[in-house]
Amino acid sequence: MEKEFESNEIVDRLPAHLKQFIKPQNYEDYTAVNQAVWRYVMRKNVEYLSQVAHSSYLDGLKQTGISIDHIPNMYGMNRILKEIGWAAVAVDGFIPPAAFMEFQAFNVLVIASDIRQLEHIEYTPAPDIIHEGAGHAPIIANPEYAEYLRRFGEIGCKAISSAKDYEIYEAIRHLSIIKEAEDTPEDEIAAAEEKVDELQNDVREQSEMAQIRNLHWWTVEYGLIGTVEDPKIYGAGLLSSIGESTWCMTGKVKKIPYDISAAQKDFDITKPQPQLYVTPDFAHLSSVLEEFANKMALRVGSLEGIQKLIHSKNIGTIELSTGIQISGNFTRVIEHEGKPIYFQTTGETALASREKELVGHGIENHPDGFGSPVGKLKGINLAIEDMSPRDLRAYDIYEAENITFEFEGGVVVKGEIITGTRNLQGKIILISLRNCTVTHQDEVLFKPEWGNYDMAIGKEIISAFAGPADALSFDLITHKTSSTTIKSKKTPQRQELESLYESVRNIREGKNTKFSLEAAFDILKKYHPKDWLLSVEIYELAFDKDENLAAEVLQHLEDLKKRRPEVAHLIDGGINTVESNTVTG
């Protein structure tokens, strides 16, 4: 794959199927308006969050070196994150949940590198660099929380999705893009919201991925910590939203002690959350995660696990009690007395052990699917995997022997044994036969003319999880999004406004500038009467240095509050920050 992004040793360890989501940050694409939005949010956040955020947040801001005045550069962030064993990569908006979590498992923070518009400065449903860089990055400086995040990724990427989950992901991604884009017609947004509601309100049973995404939302994104009576903020969605971080601390938001029931509680990305969960400490998060993992097919396996894989209609893996792993699209399971006795994949299938493909058993060897019995032989208490060489000889399970295997449940395998494959402990995990027929009752499952038959050995399915056992077995570089984020239109008026913002920024930083402060303010009033943020920035620079200009700007802001009451609280917030002078860049 062509390297078109800054890499480092942590990013280098990522498999190719994750690298396909990474894109260059293109730092020069951020405008002075974008930088002003970042600065406003960070100044307000640090001022307010110093009172209500978990202490790890402010410590982490210092430790990760995230600036209040400048949008973070991914290269600079990586240099600092490396010290705590993490890295960051840029992506385009939402990526599939399984990929997002797998990045976390590799200690990599996924950062949507776009930044919200000024019109959405308080909250955006689209992931952006304020949410990711200012929300997620500082809190991972806490080692206990960082380990929770990594472990969450490790478990979460194995959660089995349903076919509906991908529909929901695409619908949410589309909605987040058009809500953040300029000039999207209201009816288009309403239709997209209706589609998300319709999919999320479908009463069918939630998949594992849907449930673990709920746990992620109510902890990593919207979590509170402490007591119900006196909670602090640690969730990135709250840390990065100047609107919701204030709202969540009011009595209008119900506070609930965090436990595994949060897995059943859906969320709506388009609205402020009506309730939030409070964990007593970070250790409790890990405890609930393990409690959830113990119920997943990853650890339970069994008939239910393979049924979940069939329902997912995606590549998944089952592991048998011998450790052999079968990866592919599972399409059928035959059951007997509540247990699986035969499974079948369709299309490309690979066999592995300990996450490494078995030699001679890749997709080129099993291009049309794979089927095998599972369970014990009828009338024999000893499972094949537990037989000693003497036992195997006694039951004629030996190379060049013609044999009939009759399994409990009625699957019969007849043929001549060619060879067996053993695991590191010496247990047989695979038996290959020629001239083989496999039947169940009156149904023929495999015929001799189809070639040699490989029979996986295992008395039970001990694990079932999403994705292949060995990622190198399959071509996973196939992700194509149905939509990409929409950039702001570069009209002459917008370009002029951006040049005004740039001039004011240059004045603050002591650089050469196109316009003086007074000239920038005059042009702003005349040609950009609706813009409020630049006036706040001009007020800040004039406050101690030019009393007359400061008074003029303040009057303009008071008039603007009357004309645009919907942003009056944001203007007040900016004025208060300047006048209290509690935060410096």
Q: Helices (DSSP H) in 27-142: which residue ranges?
A: 32-52, 55-64, 74-81, 97-105, 129, 137-139
Question: What is the tens place of the pLDDT at every residue in 339-359?
Answer: 999 999 999 999 999 999 999
Beta partners for residue 342, in sequence order? 334, 373
Question: What is the tens place of the pLDDT at every residue in 224-248?
Answer: 999 999 999 999 888 888 778 888 9
pLDDT of residue 478: 66
Closest CA to 283 of 261, 254, 256, 258: 258
- What are residue 84's phi and psi, to 5 degrees? -105, 15
Rounded CA-CA distance 149/223 in Å is 13
Q: Is the Cβ–Cβ distance between 349 and 369 less than 8 Å?
A: yes
Q: What are the residues whose beta carbons fall under 8 Å from the beta carbon of 578, sequence distance 6 or more?
A: 536, 539, 540, 543
Q: Report residue 3's pLDDT band, with 50, 70 and 90 as the boundaries.
A: very low
Position with higher pLDDT, 439 vs 190: 439
Amino acid letter for position 308: K
Q: Report residue 585's pLDDT band, with 50, 70 and 90 as the boundaries.
A: very low
In the CATH hierarchy, which fold is given to the domain comprising 301-473? SH3 type barrels. (2.30.30)
Cα separations in angstroms, 58 against 185, 222, 472 = 39, 17, 41
Quote the strand ranges of 411-482, DSSP E. Answer: 411-422, 428-440, 443-446, 453-456, 461-466
Q: What are the residues whose beta carbons fall under 8 Å from the beta carbon of 394, sequence distance 6 or more?
A: none
Rounded CA-CA distance 543/27 in Å is 31
Lowest mean pLDDT among 141-150, 200-209, 363-372, 434-443: 200-209
Q: Is the pLDDT of residue 480 over 80?
A: no
pLDDT of residue 2: 41
What length is written for the chain?
585
Q: Is the pLDDT of residue 324 over 60?
A: yes
Q: Report residue 581's pLDDT band, with 50, 70 and 90 as the boundaries.
A: low
Rounded CA-CA distance 8/14 in Å is 10
Beta partners for residue 463, in sequence order? 319
Rounded CA-CA distance 87/244 in Å is 27
State mean pLDDT over 11-18. Answer: 90
Question: What is the tens place of the pLDDT at every residue in 374-403?
Answer: 999 999 989 999 998 889 888 888 888 899
Lowest mean pLDDT among 97-101, 209-213, 315-319: 97-101
Question: What is the tens place of the pLDDT at every residue in 31-40?
Answer: 999 999 999 9
Closest CA to 138 of 25, 235, 6: 235
State mean pLDDT over 141-145. Answer: 92
Tokens linked to 101 = 């979590």
HSE, CB side, 13 Å, CA atoms: give it for residue 110: 26
Q: 316-320 and 275-279: which strand pairing?
A: unpaired
Tokens linked to 427 = 């247990």
Instruction: Classify 9-290 by CATH class.
Output: mainly alpha
Question: What is the tens place of the pLDDT at every residue in 517-562?
Answer: 999 999 999 999 999 999 999 999 999 899 999 999 999 999 999 9
The mean of the pLDDT values for the chain is 89
Cα separations in angstroms, 7 against 65, 67, 83 = 19, 22, 15
What is the SS3 assignment for 185? coil
Lowest mean pLDDT among 48-57, 167-176, 355-364: 167-176
Q: Is this model's pTM higher than 0.75 or not? A: yes
pLDDT of residue 370: 97
pLDDT of residue 167: 72
Q: Is the Cβ–Cβ distance between 309 and 164 less than 8 Å?
A: no
What percent helix, strand, coil does the chain show, rounded to 5?
45, 20, 35
What is the SS3 assignment for 279? strand
Q: Is the pLDDT of residue 582 over 60?
A: no
Q: Report residue 571's pLDDT band, with 50, 70 and 90 as the boundaries.
A: very high
Q: Is the pLDDT of residue 1 over 80?
A: no
Tokens linked to 68 = 């209040």
CA 378 to chain centre: 45
Rg (CA), the chain: 29
Q: Is the Cβ–Cβ distance between 578 and 533 less than 8 Å?
A: no
Tokens linked to 357 = 């493909």
Q: What are the residues whose beta carbons fall under 8 Å from the beta carbon of 391, sequence distance 6 or more?
A: 382
For residue 207, give the DSSP letter: P
Q: Is the Cβ–Cβ distance between 34 and 123 less than 8 Å?
A: no
Quote the strand ranges of 92-216, DSSP E. Answer: 108-112
pLDDT of residue 94: 79
pLDDT of residue 315: 95
> CA angle at residue 189 from 183 to 191, to 5 degrees?
145
Rounded CA-CA distance 49/39 in Å is 15
pLDDT of residue 67: 86
State mean pLDDT over 265-277. Answer: 85
